[in-house]
Amino acid sequence: MNISELLNLGSKRLKQNKIETHQLDSELVLSSLLKKQRENLLINLNKKVSKNTIDNFEKLIIRRANREPLAYILKKKEFWSKDFFVDRNTLIPRPETELLCESVIRIFKNKNIHILDIGTGTGCIILSILSEIKEGKGIGVDVSREAIKVAKKNSNKLGLNKRVKFINKSFEDIYGYKFDLIVSNPPYIKTSDIKNLSDDIKKFEPKIALDGGKEGLDVIKKVIYKSNTILKKLGMLALEIGYGQYYKVSKILKEQNFKEVLLVKDYKNNVRCILAKFKD
Ligand SMILES: C[S@@+](CC[C@H](N)C(=O)[O-])C[C@H]1O[C@@H](n2cnc3c(N)ncnc32)[C@H](O)[C@@H]1O
């Protein structure tokens, strides 16, 4: 069998299982197996593939046909133009989270700041920020021990070990430090909405990374309360929030003595990220 035939086989199987991106996914799976760029496959369509490659390819295609996200199959996801290692213990980094990184980086570029990332997962937020703010250092915390292992792996890969520590604990147990910047993309889906998520998400991504309680605001609220005690007087809190949560989160921020300094909207015009400071 050659590359073209194998790609068609994979694509057909994924199409039968209603995977919309069947062609692309088939190409990405094979390019990952052969450790070649996708473009390289497409100019070598007549090249023969080994029996071993065919067997491994079929196994991965079956996983994708069962709706496992490609990021978990390939064990990587691009975020902030870098490849992050991911596995099923971590949320797959989302493009909207790059909006948060972008705003923070713009504000703190060239500043010597101490950052806390609450619910760090793969570490994608704090590592992307530190890769741009060379004077910064920070801590990422997560209640998932396995997620912390992934974050450490990514920090090694990106050569950022000296400037970041990853700690397996709840942010509620942080005492004795004050930060210039607290960033967080907390779990914010309403418990009752989880069943309506696509299979890719609800069957594979960790529930603890998604479930924000009855109104989706349980963890966000606690992050705001905690920030009240561990953010420096002139510090900044940068939060990612879910669709339609802006008014409620805004109210909690005001009650907790914060004023909003920047709102970042997604391409559908929803506020997805709030940057806030203490009122004067
Ligand atoms: C939505 S995910 C975000 C992951 C990553 N920061 C990102 O943006 O891709 C939320 C993360 O918060 C973690 N988490 C949930 N409750 C926590 C708590 N009380 N303390 C620390 N981390 C928590 C989860 O394990 C999960 O990794």
Full 3-state SS string of 149-183: HHHHHHHHHCCCHHHEEEEECCHHHCCCCCEEEEE
Q: What pLDDT score was predicted for residue 178?
A: 96
Distance set, CA 279 to CA 12, 226, 228, 276 (Å): 58, 16, 11, 9
Q: Which of 148, 164, 158, 174 is nearest to 230 (CA)?
A: 174
Q: What pLDDT score was predicted for residue 248?
A: 97
State pTM to two decimals. Answer: 0.96
Spatial separation of the C-alpha atoms in residues 110 and 108, rounded to whole Å: 6
Ligand 1 centre to CA of 145 (Å) is 11
DSSP letter assigned to residue 280: -
Q: Where are the beta strands (DSSP E) in the chain?
A: 76-79, 82-85, 114-118, 137-142, 164-168, 179-184, 231-240, 258-265, 271-278
Q: Given a cut of 90, is residue 280 above it in pLDDT?
A: no
> pLDDT tens digits for 32-76?
999 999 999 999 999 999 999 999 999 999 999 999 999 999 999
> pLDDT tens digits for 224-274?
999 999 999 999 999 999 999 999 999 999 999 999 999 999 988 999 999
Is any atom of ligand 1 closer than 6 Å to the C-beta of 216?
no
> pLDDT tens digits for 136-170?
999 999 999 999 999 999 999 999 999 999 999 99
Ligand 1 centre to CA of 220 (Å) is 11
Q: What pLDDT score was predicted for residue 267?
A: 86
Ligand 1 centre to CA of 209 (Å) is 5
> pLDDT tens digits for 183-209?
999 999 999 999 999 999 999 999 999
Question: Confidence band (pLDDT; 50, 70, 90) for 15?
Answer: very high
Give all domains of the chain, ordered by start, each with its CATH number: 3-66 (1.10.8), 78-278 (3.40.50.150)
CB atoms within 10 A of CB 251: 10
Is any atom of ligand 1 closer than 6 Å to the C-beta of 101?
no
Question: Confidence band (pLDDT; 50, 70, 90) for 119?
Answer: very high
Amino acid in position 179? F
CB atoms within 10 A of CB 240: 23
